[in-house]
Amino acid sequence: MSQGNIIISFESAWKYLTSLRDLRAPIIQGIRTHRTNTWWDEHLTEDNASFLKKVITEEYKQQTTDKLSPLKDEPWPRHEWVEGSRRVGLVAVKLGMMPVWTKSGERHVVTMLQVQDCHVVKHLSKEEYDGHTAALIVGGKNVSPFHRPEGYLEVFRNAGVPPKQKLTTFCVSDNAIIKPGTPLYAAHFRPGQYVDVTAKTIGKGFQGVMKRWGFKGQPASHGQTKTHRRPGSLGPGGDPAKVFKGKKMPGRMGNIYDTTHGLKIWRVNTKYNILYVNGSVPGHRNCLVKVKRLTHTHTNSQVCEVKCTCPQVEYLFEGEGSAFIFSASVFTFSSVKLKKELCTVLSMPAQSLTLAR
């Protein structure tokens, strides 16, 4: 073909275009981007996998026995409990919810939290933690060591316990320090105590203000056609004419750590290590949660005088952090909320108790 005074053959043009095509970066094929468990386990059969799991379990059991042997290391000293002591918490698995009934016939919905393979992994002194209080690192739920790095496994070898799926830190007082390697069970708490439960909430994705924050929205009818689920005004139009920080707006909902405070423990199953706590807790089923003692007292701490018409019999009533023994017809207790529980303990109607301020 010809263009003006330049004559270019078809063969030369094809060679030129082919050379430009070869200058591109080469395409590398065969890169594996999806890594499954079978890729790491080298396609082990079920019999080999079960045998390997059994060997590892026996190895860690022997390692824990050797590490916690009283002949090699003396036990740590035990201290007396005093008012204001901060004990260590637990790492549990959320099983689900169920109803329970009290002896008086009251129905309560509880969440079952099972303590699985919970051990104290490491002790941090005041200087190592924050300079103010000591801390204990607690792990829960054993996992396979094949999917963990070497540095992560070294922490558990020093404590003599198997690798854990979740590690969490609890601030403790000096008289509540526990030796690393000590197992923790559901009997660590008792019925009637109040705990705080922390877990990661269920992710809901990107949501609007009505679902995320509970906004009312715009009118659905009567001439409203422009919008129905938008937030409306975001800030003042005058001075200051801006949107303030922290304004509730659409965004990702859930998938953050949240804490539910003041949940009462209704029952403790020591056979299966299950805590029955009142109400719901954050997270989905089979997720790992952090359970610790209530960090704040009840807001209603007013001392009231109660006139009791019951017989002159000595009773023992245990409240949150206190125990009261009374034998007279007039006694005091530290919360108005305890009246209902007091009537249950005394097996008497609530009308027989009168509050006197």
Q: Which CATH number does the domain housing residue 161 bear? A: 2.40.30.10
Question: Tokens in use for 339?
Answer: 């009246």
Residue that has been written with the tokens 């329970």 in this structure: 100
Q: What is the pLDDT of residue 41?
A: 57
Could you give the CA distance from residue 153 to residue 161 in angstroms, rounded to a whole number? 10
Q: Residue 207 falls within a domain, yes or no?
A: no
Q: What is the pLDDT of residue 59?
A: 84
Strands 257-269 and 194-200: antiparallel
Using the 3D structure, point to which of 293, 312, 345 is the last residue of a domain.
293
Using the 3D structure, point to which of 293, 316, 343 is the last residue of a domain.
293
Q: What is the pLDDT of residue 187?
A: 94
Residue that has been written with the tokens 């109803």 in this structure: 99
Q: Confirm whether pTM is higher than 0.85.
A: no
Check whether residue 351 and residue 261 sit in a common domain: no
When divided into structural domains, the chain yields a total of 2
Q: What is the pLDDT of residue 315?
A: 38
Contact 141, 53 (CB under 8 A): no
Ranges of residues in the chain whose predicted pLDDT is under 50: 1-2, 36-39, 299-335, 354-357
Angle at 248 between CA 206 and CA 257, to 5 degrees: 65
Segments forming the whole domain that contains residue 96: 90-202+255-293
Q: What is the pLDDT of residue 114?
A: 96
Could you give the CA distance from residue 89 to residue 196 in angstroms, rounded to a whole number? 10
Helices assigned H by DSSP within the chain: 10-22, 37-41, 46-67, 150-159, 209-212, 338-346
Contact 121, 164 (CB under 8 A): yes
Could you give the CA distance from residue 255 to residue 282 in angstroms, rounded to a whole number? 10
Q: Residue 241 falls within a domain, yes or no?
A: no
Angle at 164 between CA 163 and CA 166, to 5 degrees: 150
Q: Residue 343 falls within a domain, yes or no?
A: yes
Check whether residue 123 and residue 269 sit in a common domain: yes
Check whether residue 154 and residue 288 sit in a common domain: yes
Rg value, the chain, Cα? 32
Q: Residue 76 falls within a domain, yes or no?
A: no
Angle at 84 between CA 83 and CA 89, to 5 degrees: 120
Could you give the CA distance from residue 43 to residue 173 in angstroms, rounded to a whole number? 49
